[in-house]
């Protein structure tokens, strides 16, 4: 699939070879070049936006049930090609094959969820002060969406934007991350197979600083939907030359609080999963853990054993590995920097701490899941988002101290709590300043509930009905009626 998609753009329902510079895409597990993609030129970006603008007129006026059918067809096509798409994702992103396949099926799930939401775009009639006036509140699609997506979940995070936008009646131009462009191009192929009309879905590739920024600045783009770092999200917000609707899902630095009443086995299992899944390269990864001092030693020792037991491998050769390669050298270097900083300031290494041994790991971006204890807020691991397989553990005395430490961050995406005392659950969950709070589980985001952050973690929501409403304008139509004529 990769060789067929190499160098291609998908514009107005047509595959065209990109005219811009060719960018190599590497396999992070081996370092080999998988293929090249084009850096879309200005005219090519204009063509994609123009195609989306032209298609918007007919797509937005299409009966919602027809948009619903199209999204269901897209979900069916994605599921039918899940194995091939998963292999493409593993080769360019590094996650194990079975994990990649699960992500592709989550994309299919998003298609079907928003297919159902498409036929439930309801308005309201608002009472007025007199009985001869009705106020109708109508929801209408915004227009052309520029979707700028990251490399950590290259199918699922496109799906949230693509499916919500299409259900609402918008059209879209997708700019995937340079590290994982082939998954996005494969999604375009599925849209083509599903019979989604030309121009409704477009994919252009290239650097975010060039191609993504061109979409941000383009007068024909009505909304930007972005997932990525807080720094880039801020630049997008500051650089829009005209007023645009924005959805920005940004950084995390997510905390976990474990109280003495917690089921420690469950807390350890949850912490290991959410700290190290996808090698910690997930916005809602647990970055820092606060454990009540009476159970801190036991919890930390168990978490260290759990981390050491995780199986690392090349995701193609070992499809059911727990973790694979990191996506590139950059997040690996940041992980190593945060670890060195913590150890230099007195942290204790509990598990991991370096690359796994063996020839299979020699050329890839591999790192063992790592746990450090005796941490403080003087350490980067507790105050910055690592975005890698490293988690810091800190003991606390009182519950209010743990809440204060958990909230001591400019971010507010997701937080976690393990406690069986319901008074503790209520006290902590109501005081955590986060858009998502997961209690006694680590699934902070599910498809049928709104998902979004606070503070520097962004604006807007994905998932749920709210994820579709982010692509809609509200119109108030106020009608005064006269007396009916005699008949």
CA angle 157, 52, 24 (to 5 degrees): 55
- 196 DSSP assignment: P
Which residues are annotated as catalytic?
249, 283
Q: CB–CB of 85/183 below 8 Å?
A: yes
- DSSP one-letter string for 417-430: EE-S-HHHHHHHHT
CA distance 186 to 164: 19
Q: Which token pair is 364?
A: 């890839």
DSSP-derived letter for residue 141 is E
Residues whose CB falls within 8 Å of the CB of residue 209, separated by 6 or more in sequence, listed in order: none
Helix residue ranges per DSSP H, 119-176: 156-168
Q: How many residues does this entry show for the chain?
A: 487
Q: Which residues pair with 289 in a beta bridge?
A: 256, 393
Distances (CA, A) of 278 to 281, 354, 427, 470: 6, 17, 31, 28
* Beta carbons within 10 angstroms of residue 340's beta carbon: 11
The structure tokens 């065209």 sit at: 16
Interhelix angle for 399-406 vs 422-429, to 10°?
A: 30
């Amino acid at each position: 699939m990769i060789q067929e998609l190499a160098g291609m753009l998908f514009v107005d329902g047509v595959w065209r070879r990109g005219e811009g510079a060719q960018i190599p895409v590497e396999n992070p597990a081996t370092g080999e070049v998988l293929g090249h993609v084009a850096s879309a030129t200005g005219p090519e970006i204009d063509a994609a936006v123009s195609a989306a603008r032209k298609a918007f007129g007919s797509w937005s006026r299409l009966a919602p049930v027809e948009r619903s059918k199209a999204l269901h067809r897209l979900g069916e096509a994605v599921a039918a090609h899940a194995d091939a798409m998963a292999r493409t994702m593993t080769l360019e992103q590094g996650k194990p094959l079975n994990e990649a396949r699960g992500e592709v099926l989550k994309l299919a799930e998003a298609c079907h969820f928003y297919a159902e939401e498409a036929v439930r775009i309801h308005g309201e009639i608002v009472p007025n002060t007199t009985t001869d006036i009705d106020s109708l509140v109508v929801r209408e699609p915004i227009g052309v969406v520029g979707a700028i997506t990251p490399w950590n979940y290259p199918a699922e995070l496109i799906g949230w934007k693509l499916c919500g936008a299409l259900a609402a009646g918008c059209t879209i131009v997708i700019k995937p991350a340079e590290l994982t462009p082939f998954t996005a191009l494969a999604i375009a192929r599925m849209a083509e197979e599903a019979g989604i009309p030309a121009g409704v879905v477009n994919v252009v590739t290239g650097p975010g600083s060039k191609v993504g920024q061109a979409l941000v600045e383009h007068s024909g783009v009505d909304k930007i939907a972005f997932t990525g770092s807080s720094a880039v999200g801020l630049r997008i917000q500051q650089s829009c030359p005209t007023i645009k609707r924005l959805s920005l899902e940004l950084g995390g630095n997510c905390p976990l609080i474990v109280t003495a009443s917690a089921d420690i086995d469950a807390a350890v299992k949850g912490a290991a999963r959410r700290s190290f899944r996808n090698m910690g390269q997930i916005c809602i990864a647990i970055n820092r853990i606060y454990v009540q001092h009476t159970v801190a030693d036991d919890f930390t020792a168990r978490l260290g054993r759990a981390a050491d037991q995780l199986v690392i491998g090349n995701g193609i050769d070992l499809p059911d590995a727990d973790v694979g390669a990191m996506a590139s050298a950059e997040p690996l270097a940041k992980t190593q920097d945060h670890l060195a900083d913590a150890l230099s300031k007195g942290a204790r290494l509990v598990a991991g701490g370096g690359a796994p041994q063996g020839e299979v790991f020699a050329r890839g971006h591999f790192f063992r899941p790592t746990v450090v204890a005796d941490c403080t807020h003087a350490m980067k691991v507790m105050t910055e988002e690592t975005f890698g397989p490293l988690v810091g553990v800190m003991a606390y005395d009182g519950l209010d101290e743990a809440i204060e430490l958990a909230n001591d961050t400019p971010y507010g995406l997701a937080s976690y709590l393990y406690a069986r005392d319901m008074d503790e659950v209520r006290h902590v969950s109501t005081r955590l300043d986060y858009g998502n709070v997961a209690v006694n589980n680590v699934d902070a985001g599910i498809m049928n509930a709104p998902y979004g952050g606070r503070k520097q973690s962004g604006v807007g929501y994905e998932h749920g009905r709210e994820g579709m409403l982010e692509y809609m304008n509200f119109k108030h139509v106020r009608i005064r009626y006269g007396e009916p004529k005699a008949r």
